[in-house]
Amino acid sequence: MSERLLAKLRERFGASVLETHSHLGDDTAVVDPARWKEICAFLRDDPACDMQMLVDLCGADYPDRTPRLEVVLHLYSIARRHRLRLKARVGDEDAEGAEIDSVVDLWQGANWFERETYDMFGVKFRGHPDLRRILMYPEFEGHPLLKTYPANKTQPLVAYRTEEEAGVPLEKLAPFGDDEGMSFGRKNGDATGDATNGEA
C-alpha cells in the first residue's frame, strides 16, 4: 500500500519528489525541502493518505555529501495501516544554513523531536514555537551528533545558577526525597550525603 503513496506523491508534487525507493518494504520519498510542510500537510489531510500519526522525526549526517544533513520523518496511518518515511536534505558541506519548516502545527508530537534535531545536528525549524536546546545546556558549543564534532572538545564551564536565573526549581520535587536520585553524591548509602570513607 505504501508504494501507492509514493506514486500519489509523485503524481501530486512532480519534480519536488526528488527520489523514491521501496527496498524490502522500506517505502521512502526524498522531497524538496522548500515544499516539506506542504507535502506533510498533504500526507496528513488527504483521505487516501491519512497519515495522522507522527512516529518519529530525526536527523542524519552525511559529511561527504551536499546537502549534508537529512531531516527524516516517519509517518503512519492508523486507519489505513500504511507507513512512509519522508526525507529532506538541507545544509551546505559544513552543515551550515540547515533550515526547514516546522511541522509542529500539523503534529504536536513533532515539538520535542524538532528541538532534539536542532540541538544534536543544528537544523533550524522555521516557525517552531520554542526552538531551543533540549538535551544540551544553552551554552553548549556545537552539535554533538555531527560526525565532524570532535570527541575531545572542551565545553565552557557554566557558573552556578540561582533559581531565578535558571527559571526552574533547583530543589528536588515530589515524590523524590533529598536522598533519592543522586547516588553520585553518596559514597555508602548515607542519606545525609556525608562520606565515611567506606566505614560501616
* Domain 2-160: assigned CATH number: 3.30.460.80
pLDDT at 138: 86
Among the residue ranges 18-32, 125-139, 170-184, the one predicted with the least confidence is 170-184
Q: What is the pLDDT of residues 84-120, one digit of tens each?
A: 999 999 999 999 999 999 999 999 999 999 999 999 9
Return all residues near 150 (Cβ < 8 A) that are at least 6 apart.
Answer: none
Tell me the DSSP string of 162-182. PHHHHSS--SPPTT--TTSS-
Helix, coil or strand: residue 95: coil
Between 46 and 137, name the one with better pLDDT. 46
Q: Where does the pLDDT of residue 193 fall: very low under 50, low under 70, confident under 90, or very high at 90 and above?
A: very low
- Of 50, 108, 107, the C-alpha closest to 77 is 50
Work out whether the CA dihedral 129, 131, 132, 134 comes out positive or negative: positive
pLDDT in tens, 171-190: 766 666 666 654 444 444 44
pTM: 0.80
Cβ–Cβ under 8 Å, residues 60 and 74: no
